[in-house]
Amino acid sequence: MDYDAIILGGGAAGLMCAMRAGQRGRRVLVLERAERVGKKILISGGGRCNFTNIGAGPTNYLSANPHFAKSALARYTPRDFLDLVESHGIAWHEKTLGQLFCDGSAKAIVEMLLAECAKGEVEVRCGVEIGEVAHDVSTFRIGDDSARSLVIATGGPSIPKMGATGFAYDLARRFGLKVVEPRPALVPLTLGGEDVLFRELSGVSAEVVANTGKAAFREAALFTHRGLSGPAILQVSSYWRPGETVRVNFLPGSAAGWLAEAKRSNPRTTLRALLRDALPERLADTLAERCGLERELGNQPDAALREVEARLAAWTFHPNGSEGFAKAEVTVGGISTAELSSKTMEARTVPGLYAIGEAVDVTGWLGGYNFQWAWASGVAAGDAL
């Protein structure tokens, strides 16, 4: 059959794009390989879908071109998506740091998108293996179906066991579009060498400031049996490159000189006791042991205290890798933004070809930012094609 647009991938971005285009009177076909649409939406946010972040703006995204996302994000805001959610009577709450979640199941978000697609008479086909994509000057052809627009919305390769692949990149390359090297992001980091001792703390978490290079995040860090995880570590993992260190401030609330101050007010106290007041016991004990400051503070010179304080404020880990795409929530990199119009997501050199969502080299922080990009880029294309 002939359509105005064929959208490859019925995930967050593809469904949003389909509903917008369908409601503008376009004849739209969504082709989804899985047996159902929106599988990542269903498992997101622990099943409650952190569907946006009320503070989402361009600075919350990584891309080779940090300006690229501005236009789409400005034209479809978190408030716009929230209006849609509320118009479907879906109850929601803000959890922390502007992160908005469904009160109930993430299923409500998928049902909402499908209901909106139905309003636009979008045809959704699941369980479809996409074969050859043929293209002449003005038409894209897949099997017996054809359209003047083709949208790549098949996401990134994170979590292959859910069927994620590099399909979007292969297809983009076939059309001559460049791809920025994809890397796992929002992913736990693994520890080896001397750091391996910290794996004994598996299950312990604490609020820290974690940073790598200029990126710093104040959130929880979690020790795992393989290394480091928790929101603060997942956030810095998107910026981390093999060989780089990750520094952790275990006492982000402490003023400079706190240890010398503690010595003066209570010379008989120990570092271990002070750390136990601020941190989980097992972590406090490990840090105190590794600092080698076991005796009462009154017996320690101020210079030694300053040294320990500095170490606790910038504990240096040397991750030996990450848990890879198998555990990565998203992918950094993807179809180069240099190839696309930031207004419409259309390829500059291939009229009628669009790319949206995670397939594109725009990656959000943890906390609802990735869905906001999927919605905004889906709208940008859906309103243009």
- Is residue 304 classed exposed, middle or buried when 0-12, 13-18 and 19+ CB atoms within 10 A define those classes? middle
Residues in contact with ligand FDA, shown as a per-residue x/- string from 75 to 114 under the rule CB under 6 A: ----------------------------------------
Q: Confirm if 353 and 152 have CB atoms less than 8 A apart.
A: yes
Chosen residue from 195, 219, 309, 329 binding ligand FDA by CB under 6 A: 329
Gap between the Cα atoms of 324 and 187, Å rounded: 7
Distance in Å, CB of 356 to ligand FDA, minimum: 7
Q: Does 321 interact with ligand FDA (rule: CB under 6 A)?
A: no
Q: Does 44 interact with ligand FDA (rule: CB under 6 A)?
A: yes
- The three-class DSSP label of residue 121 is coil
φ, ψ (nearest 5 deg) of residue 328: -80, 130
What is the identity of the amino acid at 320? N
Q: How many CB atoms lie within 10 A of CB 216?
A: 16
Q: Does 9 interact with ligand FDA (rule: CB under 6 A)?
A: yes
Stretch that binds ligand FDA, among 60-68, 116-124, 202-210, 356-364 (CB under 6 A): 356-364
As given in the structure block, the two tokens for residue 370 are 């990735």
Q: Does 32 interact with ligand FDA (rule: CB under 6 A)?
A: yes
Q: How many CB atoms lie within 10 A of CB 260?
A: 18
| CB closer to ligand FDA, 12 vs 246 | 12
As given in the structure block, the two tokens for residue 49 are 């879908």
What is the identity of the amino acid at 101? F
Q: Does 20 interact with ligand FDA (rule: CB under 6 A)?
A: no
User: In whole angstroms, how far apart are CA 293 and each of 185, 259, 288, 308?
Assistant: 37, 12, 6, 8
246-249/315-317 β-pairing: antiparallel
Distance in Å, CB of 136 to ligand FDA, minimum: 22
Q: Does 154 interact with ligand FDA (rule: CB under 6 A)?
A: yes
Q: Confirm if 216 and 209 have CB atoms less than 8 A apart.
A: yes
Distance in Å, CB of 40 to ligand FDA, minimum: 4
Q: Confirm if 169 and 180 have CB atoms less than 8 A apart.
A: no
| CB closer to ligand FDA, 126 vs 310 | 126
Applying the rule CB under 6 A, the residues between 161 and 220 that interact with ligand FDA are 163, 165, 167
Chosen residue from 262, 300, 370, 385 binding ligand FDA by CB under 6 A: 370
Q: Does 158 interact with ligand FDA (rule: CB under 6 A)?
A: yes
Distance in Å, CB of 124 to ligand FDA, minimum: 11
Gap between the Cα atoms of 226 and 223, Å rounded: 8
Q: How many CB atoms lie within 10 A of CB 323?
A: 17
Q: Does 34 interact with ligand FDA (rule: CB under 6 A)?
A: yes
| CB closer to ligand FDA, 56 vs 274 | 56
Residues near ligand FDA (CB under 6 A) are 8-14, 31-34, 37, 39-40, 43-45, 49-50, 130, 153-155, 158-159, 163, 165, 167, 329-330, 357-359, 368-371, 374
